[in-house]
Structure 1
Amino acid sequence: PVTPTRRKRVTVTARLTGNRLLSLPGAGKEVRRFTLDARDSETPLEYEVGDALGIRPTNCQDLVAEWLAVTGLDPAAKVTLEDAGDLLFAEALHRHLDITRITHGLLRFVAERTGDRGLRKLLRPGNAGELAQYSWCRQAVDVVSEHPVRATAQEWADVLGRLKPRLYSISSSPLDDPRTVSLTVSVVRYENLRGRRRKGVCSTFLADAEPGTEMSVFVQRAPHFRPPADPATPMVMVGPGTGVAPFIGFLDERRARGHRAPNWLFFGEQHQATDFYYREELSSFREQGVLTRLDTAFSRDQRAKVYVQDRMREHGPRLWSWLKDGAHFYVCGDASRMARDVDGALREIARRHGGLGEDEAAAYVRRLAADRRYVRDVY
């Protein structure tokens, strides 16, 4: 979702100083705000609102131990990684190898060693749906546990991919404190088909870390995703769930700069009682006049589900008026459904309240994007 620039990536050491639970008891999700402090780093942390922060996690030691148990290998076995040189197998599992993701390479390797027809079927072209269903609630170690394979540590090191950094939208403004950065993260925890606990690599790396833990981070620039530079330009933000993350930073930035243009946020989640992230901060923005309008859509609080795109349609005449006044329109969050539905609602508003035909409305939305007045950070 974040467009990289040619600027060299600089890795900075930061300490975890904040771990605040945003979701309340009874929520179906665990959503947290993490704050990292880089004031002690030799290299300064330089970012702008709209950027993302890359976190370089390590794998959970319990999962490393499970991998060693399932493969029956010696943790002190030597392996060679192209980007890390010679090291112990246990260290490779902990810091360098992606030991959670089910890849085609892993399935192919296990299928070849075991001769399992079911795994071979999953790898057939056009079988993406069945593969996705198989991968649901499983991790790589579950595949090996269900289909035991005799292989050397080096063979596993060659099959498993490299552990990659995770990117999270930044939820703070450097104008508040240039040495700290905050993130809004949905923490992934679930049980596999046998009732064994599984968890996301980076979200729980953050959530379960002790205060003060040092982490390697870097800034991924997003020069296209910035609040309006003109203090008089209105801003409309659509950020359901953790998609609200960058917009907390946007509002912080406009407040710090003294920009007085109107700002409008559409926020949505499942339940108002448990999932209204940043409720206090948003109320404060309203009281200070930074946030002009706040419209919420809590989908499970009534029989008929309501989403942010429905709220957009409800306020179509006013939203069209804001766009005609030059407002910039931002979307952050789920690309598979939400962003598509919001785009459709935007076109519908242009037709219904702008008097445009279908082709004209589509051209209008394309023009907004070309003029960088319609910007998305979706994933």
Structure 2
Amino acid sequence: MTAHLPAPITPPLSEERGVLLARLVDGLEAPALHWLSGYAAGLAAQPGRATRPLQAVPVAETGSDARLTLVYGSQTGNARREAEKLAAEAEASGLSVRLLRADAYPLRELASERLLYVVISTQGDGDPPDDALAFVEFLASRRAPALKELRYAVLGLGDASYPQFNAIGRRLDARLAELGATRVFALGEADVDIDTVAAPWRQQALTQARDLLKSPTVATVTALRPTVPTAVAWSRERPFAAGLLSNQRITARESDQDVRHLELALADPGLSYEPGDALGVWPRNDDGLVDEVLATLALDGEEAIRHGDETLPLRDWLGTRRELTRLSRPFLARHAALSNDVALNRLLAPEHGAALAQRLSTEQLADLLAAHPAPWSGEELVAALRPLAPRLYSIASSRKAVGDEAHLTLARVDYAHGQARRHGVASHFLSHRDAGATVPVFIERNERFRLPSDLSRDILMIGPGTGVAPFRGFVQERIATGASGRNWLVFGARHARSQFLYQLEWQDALKNRQLHRLDLAFSRDQAERIYVQQRLRENGRAVYDWLVSGAQVYVCGAVAMGKDVHAALLEIVAEHGARSPEDAGEFLAQLLKDGRYARDVY
């Protein structure tokens, strides 16, 4: 059959406006393009739109010599946010800016780039974010070109509680210099209190870009912004007070793990989300833990402490503004110096990295203060502790199924350290909220963890423990949209009887052919430990057939599990595809690049 294509439509734009439009959309990703189309449609619908003037802003010509290229690699959204802030500041200054996620950056253009800023996070034990894997590997390879004409700067984002703090930022910064590029200014290394380093880095980056691009040819472009102010959306900086509708334990009482299902009301149009997104939660530290820290240091909780531009009682700083449940290397180093403790100072030596990592992962502030006394003042303590950061939870629902709600699945962190009970700050905060309480929240987009737009495409979901949360939302969404593609879930936990999360929902979905396959791995229900990666290997032929026939695969859960699953997938592709290990690696790398293999690990 011959397809009859519609005749070409001549766009109602002058040649000049067409050029300007092409510049505007250059480098924009799908979400931005969708927003732009909706915004333009809204403008068109306004009465008298054709006669209303718009504000004009200057924009520089877009030749590579007069353009700033901003590339970001982000696992949880922090690097993306910082790159977007800098892009907005640069555009407001009249500079020509191209903002690209690392996996969308055309690597062939690197050799002709003249000014490049990279904002990139380090995840886990020194790994690049998934969206920057190809970018990092290309720069490290022999294929990377000489970059003698390039000027660059790098902002790395990380967590100093990990031994490989900012490893990827450091690696990229050094490698670009090796390739002959000129460093515009020093590498920025931001810890979880991101703005402390990122804000001055962005300011310096903007100043340097203005200087380096100081002679742009300026064109006048009609701004695609309304001249009237718009409402500020809810965000990390401006969280929404969500009402808690339900807080239900979904593991059996005899279980050694307390997993909760929470339902929150998001009755506000500025809080839309898609399956795969996360909900950011701003917790507060437990009052008992705050009291313990104050008592150990013999400090007055009502003492007014000034830090930066703010003055608060010390109790408030410790309760709502400072991390008490996570130790960092910088704080431990400061404490070792203040206490003059020989053992702590020895622990900081490079050869004791493993022991330091173990201590940072198992002890909290109160444990350190009790074991190694030091004369902290309130001012010094507030200045030395890291700011309290929000925690992100994968949303376990689809709005098409639950309306103006977001559901969460969280495991309560609760363990003994000596004679004390220790808790995770957010899981303790949330698990102790009753229905009717409010929780400060915001939406964290995860554009790389999305369902396929093709409803006929199969999906393979691998999510042990609370990693199953986003897949509950995936299946709800696929049911609501009438997706014809098959859904395969691989779930694991320690015990089937007490930790089979959402068991009845999965069984009903399987019965109703809304879930087409369910494989389970309960590691402690038999002598041999069985995990999800074993189930994948056992069904390797089917896994490989799904992959080569176009299925998308998703992995959610702990970093270590994600690595084990990746190793299993490599073995499956090599064995059932009769490929070498190198070819199997390239196969999975291509799936990652194409967005058919997505990981949300933490």
Q: TM-score, normalised by structure 2?
A: 0.60
The 3 A distance-change label for structure 1 pair 103 and 359 is closer
Distance 2:460 2:330 in 1: 43
Contact 1:137 1:190 in 2 (8 A): no
Q: Which residue of 2 aligns with 1:373?
A: 596
- The residue number in structure 1 matching 2:244 is 16
Deviations 1:257-306 (A, max 9, x none): 11121110100111111111110111121122110000001111111111
What is the CA RMSD across the aligned residues, in angstroms?
Answer: 1.7
Give how far 1:376 is off. 0.7
1:1-379 to 2 correspondences below 5 Å: 1-3=75-77, 5-6=80-81, 10=235, 11-39=239-267, 44-82=270-308, 85-135=310-360, 137-193=362-418, 195-336=419-560, 338-379=561-602
Q: Check conservation: 2:307, 2:382, Cα contact below 8 A.
A: yes
Residue identity matched to 1:269: A
SS of the residue 1:101 aligns to = coil
**Structure 2: runs of 5+ lacking an equivalent:** 1-74, 85-232
Distance in 1, matches of 2:590 and 2:358, equals 39
Which residue type is aligned with residue 279 of structure 2? L
Structure 1's 2 and 114: CA in aligned 2 closer, same or farther, altered over 3 A? Answer: closer
**More divergent stretch after superposition (348-357 vs 325-334):** 348-357
State the shift of 1:2 in Å. Answer: 2.9
In 2: Cα distance, 1:324 partner to 1:160 partner: 50
- What count of residue pairs does the alignment treat as equivalent? 374
Higher relative contact order (CA 8 A, sep 6+): 1
The 1-side partners of 2:294 and 2:408 are apart by 33
- Whether contact under 8 Å (1:52, 1:221) holds in the other structure is yes
- Partner of 1:376, secondary structure, is strand
Q: Which has the higher helix share?
A: 2
The percent of aligned pairs where both chains have the same amino acid is 37
For 2:385 and 2:77, locate their aligned partners in 1 and report how far apart those are by CA, in whole Å.
27
Amino acid at match of 1:362: G
Shift of 1:250: 0.3
Question: How far apart are the structure 1 equivalents of 2:360 and 2:448?
Answer: 34
Instruction: Measure how far apart 1:25 and its partner are.
Output: 2.4
Give how far 1:166 is off: 0.4
Do the aligned residues in 2 keep the contact of 1:188 with 1:200 (CA within 8 Å)?
A: yes
Larger Rg computed on CA atoms: 2
Distance 1:258 1:284 in 2: 17
Aligned-partner SS, 1:224: coil
Measure the CA separation in 1 of the matches of 2:591 and 2:392: 27
Write out per-residue CA displacement over residues 61-87 of structure 1, whole angstroms, 9 at most, x where no aligned residue.
1111111111111111111233x6111
Deviation (angstroms), 1:138: 2.4
SS at match of 2:576: helix
Native 8 Å contact 2:234 2:240 kept in 1: no
Q: Which consecutive unaligned segments of at least 5 residues does structure 1 have?
A: none
In 2, the alpha carbon distance for the partners of 1:317 and 1:110 equals 54
* Secondary structure of the corresponding residue to residue 260 of structure 1: coil
The answer to whether the 8 Å contact 1:260/1:290 transfers is: no
Shift of 1:136: 5.2
- Between the aligned partners of 1:138 and 1:369, the Cα distance in structure 2 is 36
Contact 1:45 1:178 in 2 (8 A): no
Matched residue SS, 2:244: strand
SS in 1 for 2:319: helix
Q: Which amino acid aligns with 1:20?
A: Q
Cα distance in structure 2, aligned partners of 1:157 and 1:317: 56
The separation in 1 between residues aligned to 2:421 and 2:570, in whole angstroms, is 43
Structure 1 Cα separation of the partners of residues 525 and 311 of structure 2: 55
For residue 367 of structure 1, what is the amino acid of its counterpart?
Q
What is the rounded CA distance, in whole Å, between the counterparts of 1:335 and 1:9 in structure 2?
Answer: 29
